[in-house]
Structure 1
């Protein structure tokens, strides 16, 4: 009887996987100990109330960076503070900037999703792509799929896996490419999406504590994020074809699946939606570029202009237009009453967001009213200045800090609502534009979405993976997705640095400095 020793390379790979698995298990265990985001904001609000009381006992004062006046830390446990808590609770919620922006945007996008327009568009884009461009189409569709919010996680990865299988490629590579596009590219888009409205709304709410003149609009990251779609598509395809597919090797499984093709009616509906959208955009162009057009400014330009100020309602009307054209053609919309019914159904899907916003709005309001935010911002800015960390490197450090925190807090809006009140004022004192800080956050938040065990869609993607490989586990999934995260984060940050050094605007009239 002879004993064969395991190959050194195989032993190393087993050890390597076990280390990665242990790290990911640790992240999962630590993250699972965190409370629900709603309760997290409740606990943080209580913490701010107690902190304001303790700090106020020491008569701490700070010079407000906006008014240049000396302000004291106000206790939320005082008579004035308790009155504020009770009388402001509803207005903190109803006047919270992201609430109206996101719900307004989702009326249109939700309608498009309910009638099937977005789902059909994603399927047709992937299925009809030429074989050599399939990988690019998968990632491009995944990135644009964030228009449908979390629905893209359910639609794109399984379709991509089946397309790869049909082409004789490894289906798990297609699944990984789809998941990377949807997850790591969640915050990028060439169209102003709900994410833009949500994050800019939180940023604007925070900037009120600095200056009433500071506003972050949904288009302030548009230029950079539009370019990011192209970058993610190209880099994601390279990672898929040069790293992930060679690692997986040839698919030896026996799974056979047939793609559910886009029907003739759905294709006709897409065409009609495209025609309706084209007419809408043509009319919009007349309102922007004709002499004396109402949507341009007095000089005929767009920065600033009624067009940019009204970008969310404009996008809302665009989505309603194309959705109605599509829905009527496929028979989903049979009468005018169907439009508000579908919109109402889409609002039901936003209930968790509305609940979360109620708690987040209180936390930010208490942070601002107590002047704790000003105190932390000024102290933090002074510390960074004392150690000469006032330039671009401090923002790069912020990117990597955010990437690490995102492993424990999956919700991008919840994490930004936690970080923005601290970092926006602090970096504003160092002359960084809040929209620029927000952009840095978006890069980090997106890149690590696909490797955090707290992503609620990870188990679902793993279930899809098990259809093609019964032995696949969380370690398998994360080892496949890790190259996307590492490469995306490094290249995205590098482009961010080069973009900044070249002085290019990240949105209409928006640069690094205030």
Structure 2
């Protein structure tokens, strides 16, 4: 993981040069749309299809040049854009974050964090926070990455290195966490349905991979910090010098009066945080809490997880207002509205890029090409004639490749699980182990896929500091994380499997082979 200008550095430089010679990212998505339309026309004319292993339904390639799809595009274009999932998340959260930032709360809080965290632990802290951010669903992309960039910049480090460290933790470490997240019961439910194709009584618990996912947290934290400090940041200083007109920078020492106002603002914001936590606990902890669903036995906290974006907006907004009033940076409601407006004006570039990305992702989904490729990938594994750990490693590889085309973890697993889970049960591998292998492959290519819905947002954040930072620069920056996360997580998974360590409470990687045969085609 050194910084020598060797073979690895030449590869990254080549990727960056090639990627940055491409057109503007928005234009690139428009070109990709044209390519997908042509491919859909070709494969539809060839009658390309695949049978969905879960539903038994034939999935056929759909021509996007078909008159019905052309009509659909013209009538649904506004909805395609407004229903683009990251758009609402980003704009809602940024309304609250914008007030907190412009009131001064975030800057002062970052300065306090710098003083509290030893410099040698800063990168570890950022990566760890990114890995744990999956508790907040997708909000980690919107909140943590820009804060990490500002934090690094405030102490004279390269801001994109901080952003990359946070992004690697959030995206590459998506499945890992010290706590059970909303993803666990979602994947467990899909695995249960797939396992019952083989054994009708088999149930995969939400905690099926809990111990392994916990073990990934320190692994990703350490690997991510080493990659950031020894590979990414030295390379960024050499290849991506900072622009002259960028936000933040080294923090000047405030005057005594400013310090007094800041302390008063922080006290006010702290009280709001305590009150917010108390209210959230009141909404979540009681059995009849408003943000609980007693009818959902597998995931009673689903309403809470679904409310995190709204809660973040409210907490940031109220804390920003409290700090601003206490520090006298907010004197009326007009100041608050003005701060919200300025926050939205900064999102103009992202809106253009999100518009193009939303069209591409929607059309790619309509074509069914990604789904057909995923089904054929699972069929290839089934026909490969291997079993045991080699088959699980092949599943990790195929999952990581499919992840570049289909972002949703649950959508991919809904395709792969009905094939892989019963097949591996037949050779004594538990559904929990198969699910764990899938989760390893599903995560580490997240930071390098332009089809990740938040990839355009990360690119725009980078361009705030280095205007010439393109797709090639971002992919080259994140590729070392993907490589080392992939190597380290696959190695740990292999050791875990070979030692037959428990994947979760009472869960083994292997099972006694049931005395029934898997269903035909299953």
Query: Is TM-score (shorter-chain normalized) higher than 0.5?
Result: yes
Q: Please tell me the TM-score bracket, short chain as reference.
A: 0.5 to 0.7
Kindly indicate whether residue 306 of structure 2 is the aligned counterpart of residue 309 of structure 1.
yes
Alpha-carbon shift at residue 343 of structure 1 (Å): 1.9
Mapping for residues 493-504 of structure 1, pairs under 5 Å: 494=491, 502-504=502-504
Q: Closer, same or farther in 2 for the Cα pair 1:416/1:344, shift >3 Å?
A: farther
Kindly indicate whether residue 160 of structure 2 is the aligned counterpart of residue 183 of structure 1.
no
Kindly indicate whether residue 318 of structure 2 is the aligned counterpart of residue 326 of structure 1.
no
Mapped contact 2:396–2:442 kept (Cα < 8 A)? no
Aligned to 2:397: 397
Distance across 2 between alignment mates of 1:484 and 1:378 = 28
Alpha-carbon shift at residue 153 of structure 1 (Å): 6.1
Aligned to 2:198: none
Which digits, 9 at most, give the CA deviation of each residue in 1:335-356, with x for residues without a partner?
A: 1222232222222222222222
Mapped contact 1:49–1:77 kept (Cα < 8 A)? yes
Aligned to 2:112: 124
Alpha-carbon shift at residue 225 of structure 1 (Å): 9.0
Instruction: Quote the RMSD (CA, aligned, Å).
Output: 5.1
Higher relative contact order (CA 8 A, sep 6+): 2
Alpha-carbon shift at residue 279 of structure 1 (Å): 0.8
Which digits, 9 at most, give the CA deviation of each residue in 1:265-300, with x for residues without a partner?
A: 223322321221111111111122235222222279
Distance across 2 between alignment mates of 1:337 and 1:51 = 52
Which of 101, 108, 111 is the matching residue for 1:113? 101
Kindly indicate whether residue 150 of structure 2 is the aligned counterpart of residue 155 of structure 1.
yes
Aligned to 1:355: 352
Segments of structure 2 that go 5 or more residues without pairing to the other structure are 131-140, 187-192, 194-208, 234-248, 422-433, 451-458, 467-475, 510-522
TM-score, normalised by the number of residues in structure 2: 0.62
Alpha-carbon shift at residue 112 of structure 1 (Å): 2.2
Aligned to 1:135: 120
Q: Closer, same or farther in 2 for the Cα pair 1:307/1:388, shift >3 Å?
A: farther
Aligned to 2:429: none
Q: Secondary structure at the residue paired with 2:50?
A: strand
Mapping for residues 198-347 of structure 1, pairs under 5 Å: 260-261=252-253, 263-298=259-294, 303-305=299-301, 306-347=303-344
Which digits, 9 at most, give the CA deviation of each residue in 1:479-500, with x for residues without a partner?
A: 9x99988766644555677789
TM-score, normalised by the number of residues in structure 1: 0.63
Mapped contact 1:364–1:421 kept (Cα < 8 A)? no
Distance across 1 between alignment mates of 2:18 and 2:408 = 19
Kindly indicate whether residue 66 of structure 2 is the aligned counterpart of residue 78 of structure 1.
yes
Which digits, 9 at most, give the CA deviation of each residue in 1:109-161, with x for residues without a partner?
A: 233223222222222111244xxx33114542576596656644653334444
Q: Closer, same or farther in 2 for the Cα pair 1:154/1:99, shift >3 Å?
A: closer
Which digits, 9 at most, give the CA deviation of each residue in 1:386-409, with x for residues without a partner?
A: 22579542454368769xx9xxxx
Which digits, 9 at most, give the CA deviation of each residue in 1:397-444, with x for residues without a partner?
A: 368769xx9xxxxxxxxx777798996665455568999968755544
Distance across 2 between alignment mates of 1:331 and 1:95 = 38
Aligned to 2:380: 383
Q: Closer, same or farther in 2 for the Cα pair 1:398/1:108, shift >3 Å?
A: farther
Distance across 2 between alignment mates of 1:342 and 1:297 = 36
Distance across 1 between alignment mates of 2:356 and 2:449 = 25
Moved more, 426-435 or 111-120: 426-435
Distance across 1 between alignment mates of 2:319 and 2:165 = 27
Distance across 2 between alignment mates of 1:369 and 1:342 = 39
Mapped contact 1:381–1:429 kept (Cα < 8 A)? no
Q: Closer, same or farther in 2 for the Cα pair 1:41/1:258, shift >3 Å?
A: closer
Alpha-carbon shift at residue 47 of structure 1 (Å): 1.6
Which digits, 9 at most, give the CA deviation of each residue in 1:464-514, with x for residues without a partner?
A: xxxxxxxxxxxxxx99x9998876664455567778974349xxxxx9xxx
Q: Closer, same or farther in 2 for the Cα pair 1:106/1:485, shift >3 Å?
A: same
Moved more, 349-358 or 319-328: 349-358
Distance across 2 between alignment mates of 1:483 and 1:69 = 39
Alpha-carbon shift at residue 309 of structure 1 (Å): 2.6
Alpha-carbon shift at residue 326 of structure 1 (Å): 1.5
Which digits, 9 at most, give the CA deviation of each residue in 1:286-317, with x for residues without a partner?
A: 12223522222227978233222322212221
Q: Closer, same or farther in 2 for the Cα pair 1:97/1:459, shift >3 Å?
A: closer
Mapped contact 1:373–1:425 kept (Cα < 8 A)? no
Which digits, 9 at most, give the CA deviation of each residue in 1:25-81, with x for residues without a partner?
A: 322221123333222221222122212222222333432445423343332222223
Which digits, 9 at most, give the CA deviation of each residue in 1:166-203, with x for residues without a partner?
A: xxxxxxxxx37x7654312325369xx9xx9xxx99xx
Q: Secondary structure at the residue paired with 1:62?
A: strand
Segments of structure 1 that go 5 or more residues without pairing to the other structure are 1-12, 162-174, 205-210, 212-220, 246-256, 406-414, 462-477, 506-510
Q: Closer, same or farther in 2 for the Cα pair 1:459/1:399, shift >3 Å?
A: farther
Q: Closer, same or farther in 2 for the Cα pair 1:48/1:243, shift >3 Å?
A: closer
